[in-house]
Structure 1
Amino acid sequence: MQKLGGAAAIIATAASGASMSPLIAGLTPRGRMMVVGAAPDPISVQTTELIFGTRTLSGSLTGSSIDNEDNLRFSLARGIHPMTEVLPMADAAKAYEHMLSGQARFRVVLDMTA
């Protein structure tokens, strides 16, 4: 992210603190990372990344159904798409193992039409 100029905002949905920790350094000055994915392990933060970059790390519940509808409408209007790993429903057991292994890079989604 730093090579691309940094991210002004990151919405972290990962269920792993270890996978979210390196993202903070990829924020632009005054960038903000919002954590909405509950992780069993902690997020590690270098205080210098927050202080000298004036970056913000915060967390939030995902909101109400109305909030979710507003977010989806905003994403659609701006052409924002999630990064997912799509597998056919027939591979549900494989997808579940992949997710539990920690090797999933994005959200694992089952395609019920495939």
Structure 2
Amino acid sequence: MRLKVKLFQLGISQDAMCLVCGVADETHMHLFHQCHYIRKILGMISVKLSIRLPPTVILPWVHSKPWSKIKKKVLIAWIQAAYYMVWIQRNKVLVDGALAHPNRVVHDIVSMMKIRCTF
């Protein structure tokens, strides 16, 4: 995964700014935990799942909870789907210059999770 900070360090990119928000350097921590775009998506997912996600680094928090293995796996699958869709959107900005609205992304995540849960 080549984020803009790394590409900038290698001299491939002209800057290190996040492609999604343009507010901060595009690091792993920023794109998947701090960027307003992922925060909005995770907030919408947390409402759908009736759970309050922490503001940063979610996966260790999930593992620390006294929930069943199944509940943890399902929640992790939702979070991974969100990360995957943000990465897809980030790449669409790079290629097409277009970013989908968070509502659309959450709709796609819900559809993806329905299919995953069916199997």
TM band (smaller chain): under 0.3
TM-score of the two chains, using structure 1 as the length reference: 0.24
Rg larger in 1 or in 2?
1
TM-score of the two chains, using structure 2 as the length reference: 0.24
Which structure carries more strand by proportion?
1
